[in-house]
Amino acid sequence: MTVYSFVAQLLAVLIAVAGAPLLTGWINQCRAWLQNKSAPPLLLPYRTLHKLFWKESVVADGASPLFRAAPYIVFGAMVLACGIVPSLSTDLPLAAAADAIALVGLFALARVFISLAAMDIGTAFGTLGARREMLVGFLAEPALLMVLFTAAFITQSTSLANIVETISGQEFAIYPSLAFAGVAFAMVSLAENARVPVDNPATHLELTMIHEAMILEYSGRHLALIEWAASLKLFAYSSIGLAIFFPWGIAHVHEPVGMLLALPVLVAKLAIGGAALALIETLSAKMRIFRVPEFLAGAFLLAVIGILVHFLLGA
Amino acid sequence: MEALLAILGIPLAGAAVLGLVGHRDFAAAVNIGFSLATFVASAVLTAQIVADGPILVLQQQFFVDSLNVFLVTLTAFVGFTTALFARPYMRVERDHGKMTPPRMRLFHSMYQLFSFTMLLALTTNNMGLLWVAMEAATLATVLLVAVYRTPASLEAAWKYFILCGVGIAQALFGTILLYLAAERLIGAEGGGLLWTNLDAVKHQLEPTVIALAFVFLLVGYGTKVGLAPLHNWLPDAHAEGPTPISAVLSGLLLNVALYAVLRCKVLADGALDSRFAGELMMGFGLLSVVLAAFFLSRQRDIKRMFAYSSIEHMGLVTFAFGMGGAVASFAGLLHMTVHSLVKSAIFFAVGHAAQKAGTQVMDDIRGLVRVNPVVGWGLMIGTLAILGMPPFGVFASEFLILTTAMREFPWTTPLLLLALGVAFAAVLAKVQPMVFGETNVKPLAHPPAIVPVFVHLGLALLLGLYIPPYLEGWYRQAARLVAGG
Amino acid sequence: MTAPTDWLAIDWILAAIGGWIAIGAAGVLRPHNFYIVARVLFPLGAALCLLVAVAAAAALFAGTETAVLPLGLPGLPFHLRLDALSAFFLMLLGTASAGISVFAAGYFRKGEGTPPGVLCLLYHLFLAGMAMVLLADDAYVFMVMWELMALASFFLVTANHTIPAIRRAGYLYLLIAHVGALAILLAFGVLQADTGDYTFDNMRAQALSPFWASVAFLLAFFGFGAKAGFLPLHVWLPEAHPAAPSPVSALMSGVMLKTAIYGLLRVGFEILPTQYAWWGVLALAVGLVTALFGVVFAAIQTDMKRLLAYSSIENIGLLAVGIGLALLFTGYGMPSLAALSLTAVLYHALNHAFFKSLLFLGTGAVLHATGERNLGKLGGLLRHMPWVGWLALVGALAAAGLPPLNGFVSEWLLLQSFLFTLGLPGTFINNLVPVVAAGVALVAALGGYVMVKFFGIIFLGQPREPRLASSHDAARWERVGLVWLAVGCVALGLLPAQVIALIDPVTRVLVGEGIGPQVASQGWLFLAPVSAERASYSPLLFLLLVAASFALSFVLVRRLYHGRLRRAAPWDCGFPLLNARMQDTAEGFGQPIRQVFEPFFRIDRQLPSPFDRQPSYRMEAGDHLWHWLYLPVARASDGVSRLVGRLQQGRISTYLMYSFVTLLVMLLLVFR
Amino acid sequence: MPGLVTQLINLFAALLLLLSFGLLAQRRVLSLIHLFTLQGLTLTASTTAMAFFTGQPHLYWSAAITLALKVLLMPWLLHRMIERLNVRWDVETLINIPATMLIGIVLVIFAFNLAAPISGLSASVARGTLGIALACVLLSFLMMITRTKAIPQVIGFLAMENALFFAATSATYGMPMVVELGIALDVLVALIILGVFMFQIREQFDSLDIRHLEQLKED
């Protein structure tokens, strides 16, 4: 790998790690506007992280090393995820280390560890959250995989970089299969990022919370890492969606100039995407927990239909 | 020659001697002694036959070739081991007061007489004498079946007697017809009943007569083989008699009766130049296998159940011989051997088990391995062996039979496999809880004679894994005689 | 066989098998001498396992070796053959069972059902039987060893035979195994095509008509499926595996099931000359249903060993799916793609052998420490048995199919091979394949759910019973075994390129193609089965990156901020009476799955009424197939035997009538 | 001359068949025994005739044996038995007599047709009799089936032996001596053992009704 592509890779990771909280902040802001509340400052997430890092972290008596290791593992997994999803350029050396399937595996890894950590203390809430998280996961994962498969079938490759190159490379074409996949992907990412209507990041109401229930025992730097990882996850999902469904503007291999152009494009796309997410969250109401499987099953089926459509229409 | 005389003389003498002293304590030992002597003599005879071919002695009245000499050895051997087993078993029966001294005497002398009739039936060359011996075998055992004098045992004996008597009468009619057919070729001056002569002229024998004769002979001797639907005496007689008798009935009598059928089949095949005889035997065999398999699952008395299993296996052997051909006949002979070894072993184990539990009802026998691991494992292994589990010999022969059937008569294989599967399910379901689990049986005064069980099972295991060349050659000769090719 | 110097691999393996039998015999000589059995014989057996593994690995590339033992039937002595396929599975057997044997050396305790010596005999006969099955090259030795294997494992399953449920499990197991064996026998009967020669060589030579070839395949599929636990022949598996002592469960689940897969591959690809696509469709369908069924049932189990048994059914289903794909590809003449999916199958077989054995042994250690199999009474064991706990975590992550461990690699390969189905002709298949792919993805995700439940409930949280606090960690021998298997899981996960190099000759035997060279061309670091553009995966790099960002964040946080930590009681949400019993139970954890997959189960629930003195709650999720298939069959045969029983109604006149009628009928036969 | 012999033998044969029907029809035990004795007598006569005209010495012997066993010894034993057990009463049958007779006639026709092709081949002067012998066998079989008491069943059994014996002597020139001796011995022992049994059965069930012997069965 050339020095250039190395730089590109590094840049992608750094931008993701640095920019992820910003995206979260932006979404919160939009949501506040849409619900005409007075919006929190855009940089609030950074301050929260800073504050949490300074706080000493309180760990329950019975906690095993697993509990303390989990935040770092999750954070690391999310960083890697952001590293292999082409956000600025498709020229990612790391992309060879993990393709789309491995990406799903990566998310699963993070999910499993956070759930295990939640069960580690042995409070009722932790296990409850873990159970619900896995419930979301076992439907969301295959759905996401099927979405990626649709793209993979179209481009005959599971390496994200190649998918993006192929889709953005050829002249503009409408893929009905991608339409299905897109809807499915939207639903999945809502669920995966603990967003309304599946979960509500802003609530601590026992009966409904999923993600929050799992991290109830965390505090201080551990909590900070988890929150950061969550925003990284959101960033990763957004850039997956952008990369597959709106790949235009992402720099190709061997066009250093593209990088300069790609950054503003990315920011713009993320801004729009975040606004859209906030809009969805505002318009829809939180579901009862046992509606969630139906919701995700719907996403799963849509994704499968997407592939079937591709098989039948060859497009 | 001398060996032959010894084989016939020793048991006869034994019967006489034990008729006098059979009630004494040492009688059991004497019984064993005579059986052992018989076995040794038979071994000698076998050696001679294998060395220098068949013999034909005493005005051609006796004929020993590789087919019957192997059955002679088997008979003598199982007779010997059964005598070994009978010693402690009958002791216990006596302690329980089921056997009075007179009955002991009857048992011992009749035991020897029975083995005499078996050996006579095997070695004689005269179809008439064969019949006489078979009838005599019935007479010798029928009193033993009734020896306990319980209503059930009397009923069993009565049925055994009447059914076998009537059946064997048909065989006599068949023999007469055979004689009638032979007389025209061989002449009235005797000889017309000598199997060797018949075998020599079998191709000129009148087909219609022979067909008729074979039907009667098959019904007659088939009754004693226990082919369905002529089998009805068999379970009762096995269940109600003393276990050593069940062992020899299952292990020997059935074989000898089948041997008689085989001799007749050879003649019929020669005369008829059609598959008539074979098809009849296949029909009977198949019917017996299937019926017996379904009978098995409804049994409550353990000896009764294994009696049905004997019917099943005899059916299988009959089916094999019915198919004919070198491989099938070979398999049939092998199956006869392993069946009588394993089945008698099972009856030994069952006998001890039933004595320990004080009942033959399977639901009341539990957890044998806890009290007496050897008997328990013996019963378990024997059962699995008889169910056709490798690496025991039963599987070897069943493998050959099934594979031949697949080739010759594919439509029969599903039936056979169904029957085998049903039998497996039924028997295993009954035996497993008897052997394993919490126990209710109590140890006995006299240590069980466990050597015979494991000797038999060991031999069966050997035959499943490795058939020594000379044994194989011997089987092949015999198979050639049966298959008539 | 002369001096060991010029021994072939097969000779070494045969020697090892002989050694096992000798060990077993030695064990029986001193059935109650616990020390010799545990400390001498089992380690010896483990050494022989390693010997087998090494010899087999050597034989993988050495080409085919044959041997004929002077045993067996006249005219049909034991033909043995060691080709790449056998060698691969022997390697699997050796490596996995080495760990299991070492564990067993520490596991078997005094005074548990069957005496240790007898167990030792049965255990090593079991090993020998499996090895011989893998070597067999004619129908007779195959059947003999196949049944010997079944028999030995049957006795091992019922080792603790005083419990009626265990006896029933053993009975069910042996019965289904036997029925399957009969089917296999029939399959061989069809394969030899009336030649009467039962050597596999002869069967290979036969050119069967499509009909008979299909019959043979279906019979083999049924027979081997019965052993592998394909639906609907799976019912014995969740009964037998929990019933057995844990090392035996590990051996059965990890290795024995693979012998069934081996048989299917042997018959389906190697003996049968041509494959037909619809076989693949069948295998795909059965496999998917089996996998889904297995994982869904695993998710709701409350007994840890039953849970693992169902998860074995799931993995077997995945293997069947892979075989189905391979059949599809060969059926349409795409051997290279078939090679890809077969690589996935073999790889997954190897992985499953390792992680499932590891998990079963882990449950064994837990069982010994706590005497408890019910998940509802376990918990928090990670603190008290760290060795078992952390090693089980490795196994659980591998079983959950998470990168960078081994379970993920094979699932990755399987999914990869799905991506090539676009080239397959036929609308039906084009509709089927995506659905199956989706199903596989769903199964994989649910596998994660199951493993989180398994590990979380047993090892995490608070001990649900006070006495668990006193549970002790695994002893020395057991640790060694566990570590061996865990290391295997990691190694298989991190070095896919090297493993595939081992699998390559096997696929060449089966379909004449292999993906080895292509993979090798990508270097040792990257796994790219077809081409780097299509897909590539590098577990080492993956691990490295996660670890790096882990370490980096750790260091940075310490450097920029601080590492202060305070221990405190868990937050009780203001409810002071929180205790361990209030944790989520196994039932609770499975409840969402039960809700979502309601129709899968035959649920009978017993809810307490408000007026109960001792209110109790009971919920059993039964198996529909049991009521739809097995009970009717049992009833039918019972009915038939009742009818048959009528014949024997005791009246002598009737019996005479039978004979009379028989006679007349036969006379009529002559007469016409 | 042979013509006459043939007629004689056929006459005896016819007599035998008649007696078998008689046995089939007869209700009273005592008369059953008488009929059986007559049968034995006829058998002896026919055997002697055969011996006389064919000049086969051993046939005389078999005639003598028949006389001794089937005319003297066995009837005597049977008589003693029924006195000891005092069972002189009527015998009820499972199937009523006329029906039994009808079946019997059918059997006879069947037997004749069956034997027709064979009897032609017989070298014996009495070739026609084989069919009759077969008929007698089947009739005795039928009798055993229809009787519900022990003694009649035994008599049926012995009658069957008679028929077989007749077949042996008339259709062929008699079995070899050793065989005949053996058969005779067997039959005698059989009868004795049956006698023993009947006493045992009697003391167990205090009746000779074999419908007591229906306990061993599948249920």
pLDDT in tens, C392-419: 999 999 999 998 899 999 999 999 888 8
Q: Across residues C25-50, what is the average pLDDT?
A: 85
Torsion of CA B140, B142, B143, B148, to 10 degrees: 140
Q: How close, in Å, is residue D55 to chain C by CA atoms?
A: 34
Name, in order, each residue with C-beta under 8 angstroms of C40's C-beta and a sequence gap of 6 or more: none
Both tokens of B296, joined, read 């098995």
For residues C381-388, give the mean pLDDT.
89
3 state SS of C613: coil
Check if the beta carbon of residue C559 is closer than 8 Å to that of residue C570.
Answer: no
**Peptide linkage before B229 cis (omega within 30 of 0):** yes
Averaged pLDDT, B346-357 = 89
Would you place residue C602 in the very low, low, confident or very high pLDDT band (cuts 50, 70, 90)?
confident
For residue B369, list chain C residues with Cβ-Cβ distance below 8 A: 161
**Cross-chain residue pair B396–C73, CB shorter than 8 Å:** yes
Query: Each residue of B75-95: pLDDT tens digit?
Result: 999 999 999 999 989 988 888
Which residue in the block uniquely carries the two structure tokens 């070897």?
B396
Q: What are the φ/ψ torsions at residue C451 (nearest 5 degrees)?
A: -70, -40
Q: If you count them, how many residues does chain B have? A: 485
Count CA within 13 A, CB hemisphere, residue B367: 16
Statement: residue C1 has pLDDT above 50? no
CB contact under 8 A, C533 and A157: yes
pLDDT at res. C345: 94
Backbone φ and ψ for C196, nearest 5 degrees, come out as 75, 5
The tokens for C89 are 């599975």
Residue B478's closest CA among B221, B262, B194? B262
For residues C510 and C269, the answer to whether their CB atoms sit within 8 Å is yes
Percent over 90 (pLDDT), chain A: 36
CB–CB contacts below 8 A, C to D? 40
Q: What is the mean pLDDT of residues A196-215?
A: 78
pLDDT at position C111 is 56
Distance from CA of C638 to the nearest CA of B (A): 8
Closest C-alpha to B108, from B38, B2, B30, B174: B30
Nearest-CA neighbor of B248 among B111, B119, B103?
B111
Instruction: Report the length, in residues, of chain C.
Output: 672
Instruction: Decide if C570 and A98 are in contact by the 8 Å CB cutoff.
Output: no
Region of poorest pLDDT, from A267-271, B113-117, C586-590, D207-211? D207-211
- Least Cα separation, residue A75 to chain C (angstroms): 7
* Distance in angstroms (rounded) separating the CA atoms of residues D51 and D126: 12
Residue range B476-480: mean pLDDT, rounded: 82
Tell me how long chain A is.
Answer: 315
Looking at residue C40, what is its pLDDT? 85
CB of D142 within 8 Å of any CB in chain C? yes
Render D129-190 in DSSP notation, one character per residue. HHHHHHHHHHHHHHHHHHB-BHHHHHHHHHHHHHHHHHIIIIISS---HHHHHHHHHHHHHH
For residue B424, which phi and psi values (nearest 5 degrees)?
-60, -50
Q: Where are the beta strands (DSSP E) in B89-205?
A: none
Mutate to test the interface with B, among C203, C663, C667, C671 (most CBs of B within 10 A): C663
Q: How confident is the model at residue D90 (pLDDT cuts 50, 70, 90)?
A: low
Residues C219-236, mean pLDDT to the nearest whole number = 91
Name C78's bridge partners.
Answer: C69
Characterize the bridge pairing of strands C65-73 and B55-57. Answer: unpaired
| Minimum Cα–Cα distance from B180: chain D residue | D172
- CA atoms of B362 and B379, how far apart (whole Å): 13
Q: For D138, which residue in chain C has the nearest alpha carbon? A: C660
* Residues above pLDDT 90, as percent of chain D: 12
Cβ of residue D203 closer than 8 Å to a chain C Cβ:
no
Q: What is the rounded distance in angstroms from the CA atom of residue A87 to the CA atom of residue A99?
A: 15
The reply to whether C665 touches chain B by the CB within 8 Å rule is no
Contacts of C647 in chain D (CB under 8 A): 218
Which residues of chain C lie closer than 8 angstroms to B367, CB-CB?
Answer: 162
Q: Which residue has the tokens 């499915």?
A: A184
Write down the pLDDT at residue C453: 92
* pLDDT at D15 exceeding the cut of 50: yes
| Distance in Å, alpha carbon of B180 to nearest chain C alpha carbon | 17
D72 touches C: beta carbon within 8 Å: no
Return the closest-CA partner of residue B337 out of B231, B471, B221.
B471
Mean pLDDT of D189-210: 81
Q: Does D148 touch chain C (CB under 8 A)?
A: yes
Q: List the structure tokens of D180.
A: 């005949």
- Is residue C189 less than 8 Å (CB to CB) from chain B? yes
Q: Which residues of chain C from 133 to 172 reach within 8 Å of chain B, CB to CB?
A: 139-140, 143-148, 151, 158, 161-162, 164, 167, 170-171
Mean pLDDT to the nearest integer, A237-243: 90
Average pLDDT, chain B: 89
End-to-end CA distance of chain C: 64
Predicted confidence (pLDDT) at residue C3 exceeds the cutoff of 60 = no
Mean pLDDT of C308-337: 92
Q: Tell me: pLDDT of B485 over 50.
A: no
Structure confidence at residue C534 (pLDDT): 80
Residues of D within 8 A of B235 (CB-CB) are 216
The helix (H) or strand (E) run that includes residue A188 is helix A176-192
* Contacts C657 to D, Cβ<8 Å: 145
Does position C77 have pLDDT exceeding 60, yes or no? Answer: yes
| C666/B280 touch (CB, cutoff 8 Å), yes or no | yes
**Gyration radius from chain D CA atoms:** 18
Q: Mean pLDDT, to the nearest integer, of A146-168?
A: 86
Closest Cα to residue A177, out of A189, A187, A185? A185
Q: What is the pTM of this model?
A: 0.91
- Pick the residue from chain D with its C-alpha nearest to B141: D193
In terms of Cβ atoms closer than 10 Å to its own Cβ (0-12, 13-18, 19+), residue B355 is: buried
- Identify which of B94, B79, B67 has the alpha carbon closest to the alpha carbon of residue B34: B79
Of C648, C652, C663, the CB nearest to D213: C652
Hey, which residues 227-256 in chain B have their CB within 8 Å of chain C? Answer: 229-230, 232-233, 235
Residues in chain C within 8 Å Cβ distance of D145: 653, 656-657, 660
pLDDT, one tens digit per residue, over C188-199 is: 988 887 777 888
Find, in chain D, the residue whose alpha carbon is nearest to that of C658: D145
DSSP C375: G
Q: What tokens appear for A271 in the block?
A: 């801004």
Q: Closest Cα of chain B to C284: distance in Å?
A: 28
The rounded mean pLDDT for chain D is 83
* Distance to chain A for C411, nearest Cα, Å: 10
**Which residue in the set D94, D114, D141 is minimally distant from C671, CB to CB?**
D114
Any C CB within 8 A of B45 CB = no
Separation CA A105–CA C355 (nearest Å)? 18
Q: Residue B273 burial by CB count (10 A; 0-12/13-18/19+): exposed, middle or buried?
A: exposed
Q: CB contact, 8 Å: C28 with chain B?
A: no
- Tokens 């020594």 identify what position? B468
Rounded Cα–Cα distance for residues A48 and D139 (Å): 112
Question: Closest residue of D to B175, CA-based?
Answer: D168
Contact B169 D157 (CB under 8 A): yes
Interchain contact A221–C (C-beta under 8 A): yes
Higher model confidence: residue C127 or residue D176? Answer: C127
Pairing between strand C565-568 and A57-60? parallel
User: Measured between alpha carbons, how far is C482 from C319 in angstroms, rounded to an integer?
Assistant: 25
Cβ neighbours of C182 in B, within 8 Å:
417, 420-421
In the prediction, which pLDDT does B189 show? 65
Q: Return the pLDDT at C4.
A: 60
Which uninterrupted H or E stretch holds C66? Answer: strand C65-73
Averaged pLDDT score across all residues of chain A: 87
Number of alpha helices (DSSP H) and beta strands (DSSP E) in chain D: 8, 0
Over residues C525-536, the pLDDT tens digits come to: 888 887 777 888
Give dist(CA D163, CA D132) in Å, integer. 9
Q: Which tops the pLDDT comparison, C579 or A41?
A: A41
CB distance from A111 to chain C under 8 Å?
Answer: yes
Q: Give, for C566, the enclosing helix (H) or strand (E).
A: strand C565-568
Contact (Cβ atoms closer than 8 angstroms) between residue C76 and residue C192 = no
pLDDT cut 90: percent of chain B above it: 44
Percentage of chain B modeled with pLDDT above 70: 99
